[in-house]
Amino acid sequence: MHSLKNSRQDVLLVLVRHGQSEVNTKGIFSSSRDNYPLTEKGREQAGAISEELKKLNVSKIYSSPVKRAVETATIISTNLGLNFEQDDRLAERGFGSLEGTSYSNYSWRMKKEEYGVEEFGILCARMNSFMNDLSNGVVVAVTHGDTMRAPALRMLGLDETSGFGLRAYNANIAVIQIKDGWHALIAFGMPMVSEELLKKIPERFLAVGPSN
C-alpha cells in the first residue's frame, strides 16, 4: 500500500490494456496517437472484457488518447452504456528514437535513457496524478502496458528492471483500490473478472455478488 494526497477517495480503479492492435502484430514501438488501429482480434478482445466489466458497478470511463486505446474504450463504453473521456496521463510511453522500430532489434537490458525513452519515474508520476484526481466509485481507464505496470510495480516496491516479468497482455486488467489516502493492488494481468477476484472487491463496487 502507498499513500496518496487525496484522503477522501473511495475508488475501485480498473486499468484495461487496449486490445490487440497493429503495433502488436507488427512488433514495433509506437506512441503515435493517430496510427495503428485495433485488429479484428483486438475488437473481439475489447468486446469480451467489456462483458466482464458488467460485473462491476462502473460509473466512469477514461481512455488514453492513442487510437488503439480510444477504439477499445469506444467498444467498452458502448457496451456499458456510458460515455468516456480522454486523459493524456493515460497515454502510451514516449519511445524517443525507438519510435517505429522493431522490438526484435533491442535487448531488455538496453539503457532506455540512451534512446530518449520516457523515464519510469515520469510514468509513475503521471499515473499517480491521474489516480489522485479520481472521484469515488468504479473507474475504468483504458491505457497501455507500461502505464499499467508503473503504478503496480511501485505498489509492489519494485523498479522497472526487477519487475521486468510483470506483464499485462492485450485487454487484460489491473485492479487497484484507493481508499482514505491509500492504494492497494488487488489484481494484475487478468483476462476476466473472476469469482475469486469478486470476493476480494468490496460489495459496494459490485454489480453482481460473488457466488457462494
pLDDT score at 7:
62
The residue to which cell 519494485 is assigned: 158
- The residues annotated with a catalytic role in the active site are 18, 144
pLDDT score at 78:
98
Mean pLDDT of 205-211: 75
Beta bridge partners of 137: 11
Query: Does 209 score more than 80 pLDDT?
Result: no
Query: Does 39 score more than 70 pLDDT?
Result: yes
Q: What are the residue ranges spanned by the domains of the chain?
A: 2-205
Greatest alpha-carbon pair distance for the chain in Å reads 53
- Mean of pLDDT over the chain: 93
Fold of 2-205: Rossmann fold (3.40.50)
